[in-house]
A and B are shown apart, each in its own frame.
Chain A
Amino acid sequence: MAIVERPARAVLDPSVLRGDQPLYSGTKIPEPVPSILQLPEDLRDSDDVMQVNFGPNHPSTHGVLRLVVDLLGEEIVGLRAVIGYLHTGFEKNMEHKTWWKAITYPERIDYVSFQNNELVFVLAIEKLLGLEPPPKATWMRMLLCELNRIHSHLIYLGTSALEIGAISMFWYAFRERDMILDLSELVTGARMHTRYFQAGGLAEDVPRGFYPECRKFCDWMPKAVDDYESLIDRNAIWLERTRGIGVLSAEDAIALGQSGPVIRGSGIDWDLRKRQPYLAYDEVDFDVPVYTHGDVYDRYRVRMEEMRQSTRVVAQCLDRLEDMEGEPWIADDRKVVLPPREELHTSMESLIHHFKLVTEGYRVPAGEVYVTIESPRGELGCYLVSDGGPRPWRVKFRAPSFVATPAAATLCRGALVADLIAIVGSLNTVMGEVDR
């Protein structure tokens, strides 16, 4: 199927481009609806076209995504994504909870990289409050979010390899994933959905014994990534199934709002941890992998490299945290943060503050903020409006998967059915994020 010759939509700054651009001339984004690949005119009444429903329940592990696909033999000539099967009403529910209680909700939105969701919400609250967390909290948050990034990429690796047919990758990847969840349980008490971040810092101090365990993990992880690469990186079947599949040029990626490993696989050097450093990312040393072919294989390579780089960041965070033993883990602002329990026995003000914070909750000054971080899927944003009261007025999460799912229509142009699985896997969408 010929690529429609239309001028590229987005104008790119050369300072963020790598490699020889563009990957194809013009744009592949379908018209008139960018998210629906429509049947061409000559096939509208054809008997050879079969409409198949890759329904909400399907063997691939992507959760409840429904793709209505028009097939001409094995080739995809029409594609439409239907979402909403996991719509949970997070945003409305959070409007009815106090700020403190609302922090449990964002974790479950992107349930694979849960710490990043918590982080973006807590950063947004802190921006509205104007509250600065102590360094220990910042570094610990960074450590947990990078561990979460490795966790998310491991799940991506296990599940997308499983779908393409490399079934044993699943068990290798989940072995390390369980190690990460063990670390998470050591610190926070829960494997997933830890609810460890508070407005102002962390909920509790880092327990003793965590740093040596995390150090052991950091020493082990690069060998594990070597294991994964030895399994599939040079495998002829893997290369056949992923090389040259689902090519996305840089201009199309920007026009479609892609971020994270998807644009880094298409040759754009854009990582919010480097370009717009939050937490303490400007104080650690790590590289951002950028590959230039824009296909499924390059996105896979980006995520593999990111696992290695995240391990480097975790090791550096450990170095800093080990020197911060005994420092405060949460800010001192008693209007927002609970006082330490010992004080409740002696200080009347602490008791009153504790009471007001637990029953009514703290109040966040009125205003609106939009905070973005680099989640494993791309740019995760939280738009928060406060009316000055104890509850959020409006919370909106800009989910990278919500933006990536309609891109499947562009990527699957001219692809075969088997490629569809590889392409949707490479976008690494999590339906909890898409539907919220």
Chain B
Amino acid sequence: MDWDGVPGLLETKEDRGETTLVVETATLVEACEHLRDEHGFNFLSDITATDYLGWPTTTSRVAGYYGTAAGRDVNAPGSAGLARLPGDRPKRFSVNYHLLALVEGAPRLRIQVWVDDGEPVPSVVGVWPTADWHEREAWDMLGIPVEGHPNLVRILMEDDWEGHPLRKDYPLGGEPVRFSEEE
């Protein structure tokens, strides 16, 4: 497929049979409209935001240490534990839009934009009305403000909740489990 016409396209990635287009945040809505009208992606399946705080990068690994995610990769025979790292991420958050075209062959596509903490993402509610609740969830859970959203309020947490639970610096919560021997 030829993605050259997509406005603001930065990068095309193909991995495990899936295509990811990284686009600029500013031209996201134009890119989405282009994909919907020209390429026929009329179905927005999902909007997922991910927080990459603490992602293992080349500067943060401890070589060969088993306990960390950046440690030895036992799945690679003969690598002697040299860590192969997943690579750097451009910014803290990625917002992924999973698209589907309802035609024969079910082509799927992922649009990815990268934002920093507090940087807003334009709303695609005008392109696919189903984006409404997905964007509210991205705001509620990860604190990604969505510009142009008609009703950006908390959806899953209570209205006066503080903090954005799915961020990596938000604690899991809960209470410590007490064992009877300790008492």
The reply to whether A and B meet directly (CB within 8 Å) is: yes
Give the interface size bracket for A toward B.
35 or more
CA distance A275 to B74 in the complex (A): 37
What's the A-B contact tally at a CB cutoff of 8 Å?
Answer: 155
Which of A210-218, A339-347, A393-401 participates in binding chain B? A393-401
Q: Which residues of B contact A91 (CB under 8 A)?
A: 141, 166
Is A160 interfacial (CB-CB < 8 Å)? no
Is A335 interfacial (CB-CB < 8 Å)? yes
Are A89 and B16 also in contact (CB < 8 A) when A29-B129, A257-B43, A406-B132 are?
A: no
Q: Which residues of A contact B106 (CB under 8 A)?
A: 272, 275-276
Which of B79-87, B113-121, B175-183 participates in binding chain A? B79-87
Smallest CB separation, B62 vs chain A (Å): 13
Smallest CB separation, B142 vs chain A (Å): 10
Is B25 interfacial (CB-CB < 8 Å)? no
CA distance A256 to B84 in the complex (A): 42
Q: Which residues of A contact B98 (CB under 8 A)?
A: 370, 381, 383, 398
For window 8-23 of chain A, which residues contact chain B by CB distance below 8 Å?
Answer: 9-13, 15-16
Which of A307-315, A322-330, A384-392 participates in binding chain B? A384-392
Is B69 interfacial (CB-CB < 8 Å)? yes
Q: Which residues of A contact B110 (CB under 8 A)?
A: 370
Q: Which residues of B contact A275 (CB under 8 A)?
A: 104-106
* B75–A365 CB distance below 8 A: yes
Is B151 interfacial (CB-CB < 8 Å)? yes
Is B125 interfacial (CB-CB < 8 Å)? yes
CA distance A11 to B35 in the complex (A): 12
For window 134-180 of chain B, which residues contact chain A by CB distance below 8 Å?
Answer: 137, 141, 150-151, 154-158, 165-166, 170, 172-173
* B84–A381 CB distance below 8 A: no
Query: Out of B15, B87, B157, B166, which one reaches A84, CB within 8 Å?
Result: B157
Is A107 interfacial (CB-CB < 8 Å)? no
CA distance A136 to B125 in the complex (A): 44
* B132–A387 CB distance below 8 A: no
Query: Out of A96, A372, A387, which one reaches B86, CB within 8 Å?
Result: A387
CA distance A130 to B19 in the complex (A): 17
Main secondary structure of the interface of B (DSSP, over half): loop
Closest to B13 in A: A368
Is B44 interfacial (CB-CB < 8 Å)? yes
CA distance A10 to B133 in the complex (A): 18
A 350-382 binary contact with B (CB < 8 Å = 1; else 0): 000000100010010111111010000001010
Is B58 interfacial (CB-CB < 8 Å)? no
Query: Out of A29, A93, A367, A372, which one reaches B16, CB within 8 Å?
Result: A367
* B55–A387 CB distance below 8 A: yes
Q: Which residues of B contact A379 (CB under 8 A)?
A: 45, 100
Closest to A410 in B: B129
Q: Which residues of B contact A268 (CB under 8 A)?
A: 102
Are A389 and B102 also in contact (CB < 8 A) when A34-B125, A255-B128 are?
A: no
Query: Out of A29, A388, A389, A398, which one reaches B45, CB within 8 Å?
Result: A398
Smallest CB separation, A37 vs chain B (Å): 12
Is B24 interfacial (CB-CB < 8 Å)? no
Q: Which residues of A contact B156 (CB under 8 A)?
A: 83-84, 87, 435-436
B 67-108 binary contact with A (CB < 8 Å = 1; else 0): 011100111000000001111000000001010111111101
* B129–A9 CB distance below 8 A: yes
* A16–B102 CB distance below 8 A: yes
Smallest CB separation, B15 vs chain A (Å): 6
* A256–B42 CB distance below 8 A: no
CA distance A122 to B68 in the complex (A): 23
Smallest CB separation, A21 vs chain B (Å): 13
* A254–B43 CB distance below 8 A: yes
A 89-102 binary contact with B (CB < 8 Å = 1; else 0): 10111001000000
Q: Which residues of A contact B69 (CB under 8 A)?
A: 387-391
* B42–A403 CB distance below 8 A: no
Smallest CB separation, A10 vs chain B (Å): 5
Closest to B129 in A: A34
Q: Which residues of B contact A388 (CB under 8 A)?
A: 56, 69-70, 73, 84-86
Is A209 interfacial (CB-CB < 8 Å)? no
For window 259-312 of chain A, which residues contact chain B by CB distance below 8 Å?
Answer: 259, 268, 270, 272, 275-276
Query: Out of A32, A89, A403, which one reaches B165, CB within 8 Å?
Result: A89
Q: Which residues of A contact B173 (CB under 8 A)?
A: 89
Are A13 and B85 also in contact (CB < 8 A) when A257-B43, A363-B73, A396-B46 are?
A: no
* A393–B50 CB distance below 8 A: yes
Q: Can you list 12 contacts pairing A with B, beta carbon distance less than 8 Å? A: A83-B155, A255-B129, A259-B43, A275-B104, A275-B106, A276-B106, A335-B74, A367-B16, A383-B98, A386-B86, A394-B51, A398-B45
Those 9 A-B pairs whose CB atoms lie nearest each other, nearest first: A389-B69, A257-B130, A366-B86, A34-B129, A398-B46, A276-B106, A84-B156, A396-B48, A32-B150
